Amino acid sequence: MFWQDWFIPKPFNSGFLPEKDGHLVYFAEFGNKKGMPVIFFHGGPGGSCKAKYAKTINLRKYRAIMIDQRGCGQSQPLGKLEHNTTQDLLDDVDRLLEHLNIQGKVILRGASWGSTLALLWAEKHPQRVEKLLLSQVFLANQDFHQWEFGGSGYLYPEFVSYMQEESAGKTIDYYNKLIQSDNLQDQLTAANHYGWFERVCGSMNPAFGTFTELSEKELASQRIYMHYSANNFFLSANDILDNINKIKEIEACIVHNRLDLIAPLKGAWDVHCSLKNSHLEIVPDFGHVSKLLNQTITKEFNRALK
């Protein structure tokens, strides 16, 4: 089902999970109250869910459930880093299902960092997962850090070189310290160098260092991302692929741009090859996000959910 561009679904239920560790986690539900639940994991770390994401599935048939991760979006307090780890985020999904009294199987929808969480939660609860709907697959593993400051330098050498020179070879820890400071110039330095890197890798003609100020939400997003990256996303070197045998029988639909320079295609390929019932649609396009990618996601996910 293809929704008109102007259509933005409205939630039939929204609110906060009971407070835990000083966090109030926001959730919203869309679509068919009696339909099979589809849990949406947003990107980042540091992003948020948007109602328009629900349009990628048939809302007359399915129950779309979105959750803003700790410190993100409408969750409170904005940008809070204490008790904000990958395991905390996975535990919040457990709490969400309990709060909504969902006891049966669910479908997991994850994009970018959301695909990381969807795969991790599936490996934690394989018996609870009916299907996986993944796009822009990001494994948050050792390969990513090697690509971030190694492989990508073949395409964007000026930015990688500049960041490493500025930080004296301690890129992640250095910029994480800057973004956590109370000094505005330090925050802007981190945002314009390390924090801007994703936007650089998503462009053929990138602008660099264009942050002149940070809104509260931008600062929160930057702080959360660097907090996770500096801690290796609170994962071991290859957590997802090391445990993927636990979910090898689960049906998966994966959509990924051929020239995604933020989360290279190899991660999606490795997941696809590890699952017995996986369909991988490689989109002939550039970037981590694109119009053709979004169109293909809607088409392929609705095919997978027939």
- Residues contacting 162, CB < 8 A, separation 6+: 193
**203 exposed, middle or buried (CB, 10 Å; 0-12, 13-18, 19+)?**
middle
CA geometry: angle at 188 spanning 184 and 191, to 5°? 140
Judge whether 251 and 234 are in contact, CB under 8 Å.
no
Closest CA to 36 of 103, 135, 112: 103
Q: Is residue 182 annotated as a catalytic residue, yes or no?
A: no
Among 135, 256, 260, 272, the active-site one is 260
b/e sequence 256-276, b meaning 16+ C-beta within 10 Å? bbeebbbbbbebbebbbeebe
Integer-rounded Cα radius of gyration of the chain: 19
Cα 12 from chain centroid? 24
Q: Is residue 112 annotated as a catalytic residue, yes or no?
A: yes
Among 48, 75, 112, 152, the active-site one is 112
**Sign (positive or negative) of CA dihedral 126, 129, 134, 138:** negative
Q: Is residue 288 annotated as a catalytic residue, yes or no?
A: yes
Closest CA to 147 of 209, 86, 197: 197
Alpha-carbon gap, residue 166 to 198, rounded angstroms: 18
Alpha-carbon gap, residue 161 to 285, rounded angstroms: 27
Alpha-carbon gap, residue 88 to 164, rounded angstroms: 31
Record the tokens describing residue 36, joined without a space: 């099979």
**302 exposed, middle or buried (CB, 10 Å; 0-12, 13-18, 19+)?**
middle
Which residues are known catalytic residues? 112, 260, 288
